Amino acid sequence: MPGIRIDKNHCKGCELCVHACPQKIISMSKEITVRGYFYAQLHDPSRCIGCRLCALTCPDTAITVLTHGTTFALIEY
């Protein structure tokens, strides 16, 4: 099962990953980091398809995609 890890200490809350995620499973936290930013968080990890769009759009490289050897494809009907 793929998933992502978000380093909240590197995230500056730009929300690019939130808009890039085709599954819409990333949202912004209600907590503020020590740097003063709301950080991105994964709210439904079971729906992650491992597409890496969130990591590719993150300007701070705060997102790591974990695929465990399997990558799933998003197919729109």
Model confidence pLDDT, tens digit, residues 16-56: 999 999 999 999 999 999 999 999 999 988 899 888 999 99
Residue 35 lies in a domain: yes
Report if residue 53 sits inside a domain.
Answer: yes
pLDDT of 75 higher than 90: no
The answer as to whether 74 is a domain residue is no
Is 80 exceeded by the pLDDT of residue 72? Answer: no
**Total number of domains in the chain:** 1
57 in Cβ contact with 16 (< 8 Å): yes
Which is more confidently placed, 57 or 1? Answer: 57
> How distant is the alpha carbon of residue 56 from its chain centre?
10
Q: What pLDDT, on the 0 to 100 scale, is given for residue 50?
A: 87
What residues make up the domain containing 37? Answer: 3-66
32 falls within a domain: yes
Whether residue 8 lies inside any domain: the answer is: yes
DSSP summary character for residue 36:
S
